[in-house]
Structure 1
Amino acid sequence: MMAPFDKASFTRTKRGLYQHILIATDGSELATKGVEHGLALAEALIANVTVLRVLEPEAREIGDEALAGEPENAFTRRDPQVDDTMGKQFAWIEQEAVERGIHVELLREIDDVPAKAVLKAAKLTGCDLIVMASHGRQDPHRLTLNRQTDEVIAYTNVPVLVVQ
């Protein structure tokens, strides 16, 4: 007689196809859906997760204050604001990961080209799947994703899961 299938012991001994998922987010409502989808997938596959939030530099704000003779104020004021914003955005992700039993690493990167930061993080973390959210636009000739997602897909050899 065959023993009953024990999914818990099977999945703990046999890791899924993807073992490290990079989830890219910009903090938007749509990106939140991508994060939720990526975490659910990681739970099912028992995969590790790195969540990357890419912020664009605020060079104009810093430049204006530097011209006013207060360059230190621009940097010291910005860092706590960024830390506070990132802490709030990452708090729910950390909580969700804990509830799902997922190991998650949270990264932030400042880059004026988010796709470049995603590609760099994918390489540095050794992920084997990238999850991104994108608005799909139906075109008679092709499905157009947003520019950053298009660039990631074009320049990586890592599979990309696009959540719409």
Structure 2
Amino acid sequence: MFKHILIPTDGSALSDSAVTRGMRLAREARARVTALYAMPEYQVLTYDAGMMGDTRELFETQTRARADTILGHVKHIADEEGVPCDLVAVANDRPYDAIIHTARERGCDLILMASHGRRGIEGFLLGSETHKVLTHSKIPVLVHR
């Protein structure tokens, strides 16, 4: 059975549901979990070089605080379920790439993630991180809907 499960989260209600289900699966399988939050990378949005330093620092502080809040909630769920859980936050504008890379790097044997169920033009325009993980991952992926 699975021994190390990667559970990526974006902090949404749907992701929360997948986290809860994933922790229950991990408890039943006696597996450990790595929870992942992919933070957006800093983008330069100004021509004024003087603003870039302050803006970058503020962006990184706020992004890190959001990651800590989201992963703290995941840790709380893991503790309630009695599941060992490592918390990882990485900066990457392509979450699917961060998910696959982290799963490989950490030796995970399953990725369990939510799907927002976007279809049609919305799915095409917004893209589906879950679909990209399914397409590119060599590690099994379990999708929670």
From the CA coordinates, give the structure whose radius of gyration is larger: 1
Q: CA deviation at 1:75?
A: 2.2
- Structure 2, unmatched stretches of 5+, are 121-126
Contact 2:4-2:31 within 8 A present in 1 as well: yes
TM-score (norm 1): 0.77
Q: CA deviation at 1:99?
A: 2.0
TM-score (norm 2): 0.86
User: Distance between the aligned counterparts of 2:61 and 2:119, measured in 1?
Assistant: 40
User: Distance between the aligned counterparts of 1:113 and 1:129, measured in 2?
Assistant: 20
Contact 2:39-2:91 within 8 A present in 1 as well: yes
Match among 57, 60, 63 for residue 45 of structure 2: 63
**What per-residue deviation string (whole Å, max 9, x for no partner) do you get for residues 23-44 of structure 1?**
0111111111111111111111
Q: CA deviation at 1:73?
A: 0.9
Where in structure 1 do 4 or more consecutive aligned residues deviate above 6 Å?
none
Match among 111, 118, 122 for residue 103 of structure 2: 122
**What per-residue deviation string (whole Å, max 9, x for no partner) do you get for residues 52-73 of structure 1?**
11122241xx432x62522221
Q: Does 1:96 align with 2:80?
A: no
Q: Does 1:152 align with 2:133?
A: yes
Q: CA deviation at 1:163?
A: 0.5
Instruction: Give the residue type in structure 2 aligned to 1:42.
Output: A
* Corresponding residue SS for 1:108: strand
Comparing 95-104 with 126-135, greater Cα deviation is found at: 95-104
Between the aligned residues of both structures, percent identity stands at: 32
Instruction: Give the residue type in structure 1 aligned to 2:14.
Output: L
1:23 corresponding residue in structure 2? 7
Instruction: Give the residue type in structure 2 aligned to 1:124.
Output: E
Instruction: Give the residue type in structure 2 aligned to 1:32.
Output: D
1:8 corresponding residue in structure 2? none
Q: When the two structures are aligned, how many residues end up with a matched partner? A: 139
